[in-house]
Amino acid sequence: MSKSTIAAVILAAGGSSRFGAPKQLLPWQGRPLIAHVADMAWMAGLSPVVVVVGAEAEQVTPALAGREVCVLRNYRWQEGMSTSLSLGVAALPATVEAAIFLPVDQPLVDARFLRSLAMYWREHNAGIVVPVGREERRGTPVLFARRFFPELAQLTGDIGGRALFAQYADELVTMPVADPDILTDVDTPAAYEALLARQATSLDWGALKGVICDMDGVLWRGETPLPGLRDFFALLESRHIGYVLATNNASKTPEQYVEKLARMGVTTTTEHVLNSATAAADYLATQAAPGTPVYAIGSAGVREALRSHGFTITDGAPADYVFVGWDRDLTWQKLATATLLIRGGAGFIATNPDRTFPMENGLVPGNGAQVAALITATDVTPVMAGKPGPLLYERALARMGTSPEATLVIGDRLDTDILGGLRLGMPTALVLSGITQADELPASPIHPDVVFDDLAALVRAWAMVS
């Protein structure tokens, strides 16, 4: 769902009269419920995310501060839900193909569910997609294709989109929901307490068939192995779990990673290693023929990936593409050459967006910092191959032959490892041994399924499952 043209409209204007307090501000996983729901829509890749507020707007709106959402205030909220639908539809740009309309009081609706709803719409080419739970009961959220927006905007009173179901029955499809409790809303304090009992996510370790694991900050920091390294690989072998070590770091070749693991007491093969340089070169191979001249910034991993696809690496002009990976020997002259080529019309491809890189003594500039300099100098945004984009994950899944829902993503960065996994519907585990620290979690819009201090703690939790 990259570059999604499916929007989210969060309906959060109601007065919560049955509940007795603003439901929008109920605590959920360490943040207000309205922030949680907005986070789920953003993590699902829906864009834009529009939030319609009304009752208690002065209290509710600050809960969304810092999030990539469009907040609309409905001053007519007391006239009914139709006023929020009309306001939300009016805010959607012309490029939006469809929108998911979701109430603010369904906390179990997560990013995977929203992504499934969007995929179901694409697969069935439907006008309206409605989830169904127990006894074929229709629920929310509901997806409407763009052609229904004018009619949604014309509804009156407290009538929701259900008013169109009967009239357009031939364009409506229902999506079965395996766990109907997901559709439960918070109508009363008792319902809220019942849902709180379910909110602690427990990973289904027994369902896992594969693992996509980051390396820097998870397996090691610099040249220092992190706790649990050997036990992790022993556990995977004993459970017959497939794995791919997928990294945004494009500075080393797969062979160099295999050698590094061997020095740390772990035996593996290059088939288990995938870096962003390989993913970027694979993409370039779909755009250009072998022999195409490419100007490369980066280390051995970048150059090996390009050579393996038959590209000609140049020292400057002429070059049809500029290919940028992390370069410890970066110079002003390299940036200048790349800038002139891009401004002259060369394609711009980057291996990954990581702004920093973890070393033994702290964080240093990563490839994202280099790329930012070139974006500033050229006003051109590159094609980005690495996480959180889907390319690395899709290639890893193909290598293992596993499905997203049965493949665990392990990483140390919320904005790359975890976000990328969530957007492809994979369970995710964050370890706090690299970039992301515990105090960043409450304010982050990215919610991993489980969090561990390090790989050793993850291994202990997994080993306890028979």
Catalytic residues: 214, 216
Q: Count CB-CB contacts under 10 A for residue 125.
A: 9
Q: Count CB-CB contacts under 10 A for residue 465.
A: 11
Q: What's the Cα-to-Cα distance from 212 to each of 241, 279, 324, rounded to whole Å?
A: 11, 15, 24
The SS3 of residue 57 is helix
Q: 148 near 167, Cβ under 8 Å?
A: no
What Rg do the C-alpha atoms of the chain give, in angstroms? 24
In angstroms, the CA 198 to CA 365 distance is 41
Q: What's the Cα-to-Cα distance from 359 to each of 266, 364, 435, rounded to whole Å?
A: 21, 7, 10
- Smallest CA-to-CA distance from 246 within 131, 366, 362, 352 is with 352
- Smallest CA-to-CA distance from 213 within 384, 452, 466, 464 is with 452
Both tokens assigned to 79:
């006239």
Q: Which amino acid appears at position 131 of this protein?
A: P
- Cα–Cα–Cα angle for 390, 274, 229, rounded to 5 degrees: 110
Residues 6+ apart with CB under 8 A from 369: 355, 356
Q: 210 near 408, Cβ under 8 Å?
A: yes
Q: Count CB-CB contacts under 10 A for residue 458.
A: 26
> Dihedrals φ, ψ of 256, to 5°?
-65, -35
Token pair 């996509």 is at which residue?
212
Q: By CB neighbour count within 10 A (0-12 exposed, 13-18 middle, 19+ buried), where does 164 fall?
A: buried
In angstroms, the CA 277 to CA 300 distance is 10
In angstroms, the CA 127 to CA 172 distance is 6
Longest dimension (CA), the chain: 69
Q: Count CB-CB contacts under 10 A for residue 115.
A: 23
Counting Cα atoms < 13 Å in the Cβ hemisphere of 195 gives 23
In angstroms, the CA 409 to CA 421 distance is 6
Residues 6+ apart with CB under 8 A from 136: 174
